[in-house]
Amino acid sequence: MKRSKMMHVFLAAIFALFLLNTNAWSQDKKPRPSPKAMSAHSIGLDGKITIKYSRPGVKGRTIWGELVPYGLAEGNKYSDNKPYPWRAGANENTTIEFNKDVTVNGEALAAGKYGIHMIPTENDGWTIIFSNNNAIWGSYAYNQEEDALRITVKPQTAEHQEWLLYNFDNYTGNSTDVFMHWEKLKVAFTVTVVTN
């Protein structure tokens, strides 16, 4: 009987320690500095565009050319020392999903979910990459062989936008402009649903 009682006391103590540790872990959690976000838009009869991303803030920093370098970022230990494009957001891979076949700036792109990466430039057009690999952390493991489409667009100056934003503009029924707006730049491309 004593042995059984001691076992119960021991198990109760272990359980209490587990609860205390679980409570301590939950108190350490903090909101993400770059919160997750999603933008979605209907297009055509039953088309849909969904963008999932994380929203970094400007926070008084110089964004273009410093926090986000022009051209490819210099390789590091996370990228196996290979240069890589900007992740077009923060944290996990920014993704865009089309439930229908579309064209992007007139270029065909099949229905599916794609990782978005960008190569900013100081004075020329930016390269926007739609990668078949949509499940990597940022752009560190980006591989050009997985590209589904690359387009070049010219960024536009815009009013200050503190938190990175993806949204839609110029809706025409079968098409819409998708844009990324952060700091004082806006980068847009036109998506059109392929109709029979």
* pLDDT at site 183: 98
What pLDDT is recorded for position 9? 60
The residue count for the chain = 196
What is residue 72's predicted lDDT score, i.e. its pLDDT?
95
Backbone phi, psi, residue 76, to 5°: -145, -175
Q: Which two tokens stand for residue 181?
A: 């707006």
Q: Nearest 10 degrees: CA dihedral of 166, 176, 160, 30?
A: -10
Q: Give yes or no for a contact between 179 and 164, defined as CB atoms under 8 angstroms apart.
A: no
Instruction: Give the per-residue pLDDT at 28.
Output: 67
Residue with tokens 């089309």: 98
Tell me how far CA of residue 86 lies from CA of 72, 106, 125, in angstroms.
7, 24, 15
pLDDT at 62: 96
DSSP 76: -
Residue 73 has a CB neighbour count (10 Å cut-off) of 19
Q: Residue-wise pLDDT tens for the chain (196 aa)?
A: 566 666 566 655 565 555 555 444 455 688 878 899 999 999 999 999 999 999 999 999 999 999 999 999 999 998 999 999 999 999 999 999 999 999 999 999 999 999 999 999 999 999 999 999 999 988 999 999 999 999 999 999 999 999 999 999 999 999 999 999 999 999 999 999 988 6
What would the two tokens of residue 91 be? 């944290």
CB count within 10 Å of CB 129 equals: 22
Give the pLDDT of residue 131. Answer: 98
Q: What is the pLDDT of residue 29?
A: 81
pLDDT computed for residue 137 by the predictor: 87
Which residue type is seen at 90?
A
pLDDT at 24: 46
